[in-house]
Structure 1
Amino acid sequence: MSFQTQSAGEEYDVIIVGSGAGGGMASKILSEAGLTVAVVEAGADFDPAKEEDRTQLRNPWESPRRGGGTQIRPFGDFDAAIGGWDMEGEPYTRGNGTKFDWFRSRMVGGRTNHWGRISLRFGPNDFKRKSIDGLGHDWPIGYDDVKPYYDKVDKLIGVFGSKEGIYNEPDGLFLPPPKPRLHELFMIKGAKGTNLPIIPSRLSILTRPINNDRGVCFFCKQCNRGCQAYADFSAGTCLVHPAMKKGKVDLYTHAMVRKVTTNDAGKATGVSYVNKLDMKEYKLKSRVVVLGASACESARIMMNSKSKSHPNGLGNHSGMLGRYLHDSTGADRMGIIPDLVNRERYNEDGVGGMHVYTPWWLDNKKLDFARGYHIEYWGGMSMPSYGFGFAMDTMRKYVKDEFGNPSPNGGYGAGLKKDIRSFYGTTVGMSGRGESIPQYSNYCEIDPNVVDKFGIPVLRFHYQWTEHEINQAKHMQDTFEEILTNAGAILMGTKPGPETMYGLATPGRIIHEVGTTRMGNDPATSVLNSNCQAWDCDNLFVVDAGPFVSQADKNPTWTILALSWRTSDFIISELKKKNI
């Protein structure tokens, strides 16, 4: 186990760029096969169990902002993810009419330090959507190709859930799920009143021990802060650091990769990176290069890797590099449940996420949009976040006494405190997360006029939602209102209308972007083959969400992990055969 900050002068078997889900899994599988591995990470090391990194169980008054967000921690001062949509010195640009926000997480483990641990398998239909609705393209692989690796990921990392037997929501190898909390019981009532399925969630959080290196969830509901017991999944604690202890893995931190280097034959020879601490450029050499820097960052590296052999960028012989970028759709609604006003106080934190969710339940052939969505439920009595008391005047307007008058408290001091105690734990809400249609016209490219503070050309985004996504968001809002009403909630705010695309989130805001280096069977229409191997550079592989042909109505992380393991096995096999 070693940490490096500049080239050690040796050649590795494999260089892996990025330490998130894809890069982390590759580091473990490849190093345990006996290969020498360099993991190159643009951020610092991170270990939530170390006191200098720990944010779990910190009280609001331990933050100068009382837990409020910052530029590099937009989800709150104690959130684990260090990065954000707007990073100083690391800009990106947008084409005319485009709204796209790109979230980066600069740290070991990447964005797996923050995510909601929603760990859903893609189903058989999700790999063959064109065959179902005629839109986009089918994957060159199917569920049966990935299932053995989903099973391996379940066993290695751990995921709780329940056997439901839903065809396109494949069951996994589950740990016991936690019981629904009070607010979720109201959501169950609302969903059942609307004839929607609502089942235990599937989250990669340990409710039972699986090995001696990780603890079990103690239900503090702060998984987004990074678990000091390692009870939830993040790539740093579950993959990268264990790989460093067990195999020959060198970790290069603060290393901003400029490009993949190639020889005259067009083969990858390593990477060139800028050390963010001394702003000098270094090179590492390897037999194989694996990119797992995130869909957009990996595409950016490949576009910037121009040479005589690859004049349009590495892997871009087809012109498809950067194309078919797409994010999950997202929309939200919330309400107040009067029956929960002045509720009893007790610890109901649970896991750091939902205990129940609704998988997609309808036939799109009968609807005016082509792909579905799932529903995530939230609420409860977790530690109040910064700004909780600011909304009391608004909440008083919704909750009336038996005479139809607002709460008599309000104002400042004692009245405000009474309102906070009364309304604490009364709000519930839901978020829809859906599948969009991949579009050739949604893409990222290199901006010819802008570089970042390291002198590396930046990305320019082009993106528009289609009528399918807008109509899907409208369906979400109609469903949300029905569920909340059946749950006995008072709807808050005005129902989003067409002027806001029914509350449809800006592309990139759901942080599920996929598709820039997509796989396929035809080199003329794809960047990678079905093993995530570049068509025009056979010792270059991509293991993040870039290879996705389409994004399902599920979170992508479990599929990134499974595909990375599958690709790593292929790399090991090809090296043994001396094919690469």
Structure 2
Amino acid sequence: MPDNHYDAIVVGSGISGGWAAKELTEKGLKVLLLERGRNIEHVKDYHNAHKEAWDYPHRNEPTQEMIAKHPVLRRDYPLNEATMGMWADEQANPYVEEKRFDWFRGYHVGGRSLLWGRQSYRLSPMDFEANQREGIAIDWPIRYEDIAPWYDYVERFAGIAGTQEGLDILPDGEFLPPIPLNCVEKDAAKRIKAAFGGQRHLIHSRVANITQPKPEQNRVNCQYRNKCWLGCPYGAYFSTQSATLPAAVATGNLTLRPFSIVSQVLYDKDRQRARGVEVIDAETHEVHEYTADVIFLNASTFNTTWILMNSATDVWEGGLGSSSGELGHNVMDHHFRCGASGEVEGYLDKYYFGRRPAGFYIPRFRNVGDEQRNYVRGFGYQGAASREGWDREIAELNIGTDLKQALSQPGGWTIGMTGFGEMLPDHDNRISLDHSVRDKWGLPVLSIDVELKQNERDMRRDMVQDAVDLLEAAGVKNVTGDVGDYAPGMGIHEMGTARMGRDPKTSVLNSHNQVWDAPNVFVTDGACMTSSSCVNPSLTYMALTARAVDYAVEELKWGNLS
């Protein structure tokens, strides 16, 4: 057997790619894990994990040079000194915006599993049924019951802190003890429940931060530092580096190759199977081929689809998986940046411990049951209450000893929340290859043509007004509705473009995440999503990946993928 052959190849080492590598190696397969960016080793390479704002030359603010070099990153929080170099450089990795799309990528081992917000919720039975019920796009080929055992499985390993709530719209899971609500949030929860007859709920965030040690994974419980995006040296939050990669390495079956840009899947049209991948060395630009019996594409939604579009173009003009005409279409994100905030009177004798990496969550309540708004689907809220700190403005005390004394004490309480709304799949929201623009390696780039449609615009009005109503019901004062700058992509939850379905004429993947046109190619990152729900999607990627690997290995045993 040549040195470049493996039982399985996994492309991408982020949340879903890490899971694919773990599951495949633990089932005895020899696996090559390919990552287009640099390696980041757990703990050793978390260079900023213990720094505070004053430890950076510019107090963790972007410089004018950074702003000039990174016109996309500058649009939101990713551009700062602490995470500089963690987000993909748009100079080396450009893309074309037919309409504004803020694409924030993580090109390194671990991908955005090192940078994610860790909010971890299950899709509900309603989410898997909504497309069919409402006649939108196509039906999911699976139901909640198909994925529920896999949610259990990945939650137990990853470690999700949360509470059992018994809500149909937000299924419970296998939880560790929650990160507690503070005193203001607890009282707000009681008042909201009473004001809305138990139909609206403020609950603990469900986050992938362990609250009890996992010694079998060498992970220590959360230290309440709230520096997760800098890499956690305690392994307290779930990432490829802290959890799935060590498990895969422990098997002795993994080969990790960073700086490896997959340019295409190599397709054997006689066998109607993929035989491997072509790789460009990101440092030397040398081209290599690696072969395998099964391939998992987990390069993140758009990059996975880019690979498919750039593959087997001698067979399908639109690339591998394009026979349905849906490859690249149905882009979704979660639209947000609208909610409310206000001031909370009292509680001045109360404080809280540490810097929580979580807050509260208000599950979807719109278009549930018999209610029907002037839009379909709904939204949830993420938020928190806290006391103002030393950086608050004190207009009447602006200099000298009095100012120093005032700033040594915490200020009043505030509370705020932002809605995350579901974006419907729409064929017109699409990505495509633009061969007139090339990246650093001479490869064509993606052109992105995505916008919010009327359903999302109508929903956003409720997202603001309902937030105001909720906070006022909780007794919050001086409540103001907030509408911030939002463009698709800012949610960093890009989904769709290679959707699952029941029919190869209308979908790219089947119910087991196999590409219809090449059954030994699996896609289990965000590209596979048939609809988006309104909850954070990463937990679903994990569950779908574990489920697909289990199926793929059985199919390999029976010789159905060769």
TM-score (norm 2): 0.90
The total of aligned residue pairs comes to 542
Per-residue deviation, 1:448: 2.6
Structure 1 residues 291-324: Cα deviation after superposition (integer angstroms, max 9, x where no partner): 0011111001111113423332111112211111
Aligned to 1:83, what secondary structure does the other structure show?
coil
Following the alignment from structure 1 to structure 2, what is the Cα–Cα distance between the partners of residues 81 and 264?
40
Following the alignment from structure 1 to structure 2, what is the Cα–Cα distance between the partners of residues 168 and 27?
32
Following the alignment from structure 2 to structure 1, what is the Cα–Cα distance between the partners of residues 384 and 79?
16
Aligned to 2:466: 479
* Conserved 8 A contact 2:280-2:287: yes
Aligned to 1:357, what secondary structure does the other structure show?
strand
Structure 1 residues 109-163: Cα deviation after superposition (integer angstroms, max 9, x where no partner): 1111111211111111111102333323220100111011011111111112222
* Conserved 8 A contact 1:80-1:224: no
Following the alignment from structure 1 to structure 2, what is the Cα–Cα distance between the partners of residues 528 and 551?
16
CA 1:572–1:338: 2 relative to 1, 3 Å: closer
Structure 1 residues 228-283: Cα deviation after superposition (integer angstroms, max 9, x where no partner): 11111112221123211223111111222211122342421222222222232222
* Conserved 8 A contact 2:500-2:508: yes
1:362 aligned to 2:366?
Answer: yes
Alignment equivalent of 1:93, drawn from 96, 100, 103: 96
Q: Which amino acid in structure 2 is aligned with residue 206 of structure 1?
A: I
1:324 aligned to 2:327?
Answer: no
Aligned to 1:56: 49
Aligned to 1:380, what secondary structure does the other structure show?
strand
Aligned to 2:146: 145
- Residues 472-511 of structure 1 mapped to structure 2, 5 A cutoff: 472-491=459-478, 495=481, 503=484, 505-511=486-492
* Conserved 8 A contact 2:344-2:412: no
What RMSD, in angstroms, separates the aligned Cα atoms of the two structures? 2.6
1:441 aligned to 2:428?
Answer: yes
* Conserved 8 A contact 1:80-1:225: no
Per-residue deviation, 1:559: 0.5
Aligned to 2:23, what secondary structure does the other structure show?
helix
Alignment equivalent of 1:375, drawn from 360, 371, 381: 381
- Residues 389-404 of structure 1 mapped to structure 2, 5 A cutoff: 389=391, 392=393
CA 1:278–1:167: 2 relative to 1, 3 Å: same
CA 1:65–1:295: 2 relative to 1, 3 Å: same
Aligned to 2:116: 115
1:46 aligned to 2:49?
Answer: no
Alignment equivalent of 2:231, drawn from 226, 229, 252: 226
Aligned to 2:288: 282
CA 1:425–1:455: 2 relative to 1, 3 Å: farther
- Residues 328-367 of structure 1 mapped to structure 2, 5 A cutoff: 328-337=334-343, 339=345, 343=348, 348-354=353-359, 356-363=360-367, 365-367=371-373
Aligned to 2:341, what secondary structure does the other structure show?
strand
Aligned to 2:534: 553
CA 1:431–1:80: 2 relative to 1, 3 Å: farther
Q: Which amino acid in structure 1 is aligned with residue 536 of structure 2?
A: N
1:74 aligned to 2:67?
Answer: no
Alignment equivalent of 2:551, drawn from 546, 553, 570: 570
Structure 1 residues 398-423: Cα deviation after superposition (integer angstroms, max 9, x where no partner): xxxxxxxxx4113x555664665566
Aligned to 2:528, what secondary structure does the other structure show?
coil
Following the alignment from structure 1 to structure 2, what is the Cα–Cα distance between the partners of residues 336 and 366?
29
* Conserved 8 A contact 1:256-1:274: yes
TM-score (norm 1): 0.87
Aligned to 1:408: 396
Following the alignment from structure 1 to structure 2, what is the Cα–Cα distance between the partners of residues 566 and 527?
18
Q: Which amino acid in structure 1 is aligned with residue 245 of structure 2?
A: V
Aligned to 1:64, what secondary structure does the other structure show?
coil
Aligned to 2:202: 198
Alignment equivalent of 2:508, drawn from 523, 527, 531: 527
CA 1:281–1:378: 2 relative to 1, 3 Å: farther
Per-residue deviation, 1:425: 6.4
Following the alignment from structure 1 to structure 2, what is the Cα–Cα distance between the partners of residues 577 and 299?
28
Q: Which amino acid in structure 2 is aligned with residue 33 of structure 1?
A: K
Give unmatched runs, 5+ long, in structure 2.
none
* Conserved 8 A contact 2:36-2:260: yes
Give unmatched runs, 5+ long, in structure 1.
1-7, 397-406, 497-501
Per-residue deviation, 1:574: 0.9
Aligned to 1:169: 170
Aligned to 2:41, what secondary structure does the other structure show?
coil
CA 1:135–1:319: 2 relative to 1, 3 Å: closer
Following the alignment from structure 1 to structure 2, what is the Cα–Cα distance between the partners of residues 41 and 206?
27
Aligned to 1:297: 303
Per-residue deviation, 1:378: 2.6
Alignment equivalent of 1:456, drawn from 431, 435, 443: 443
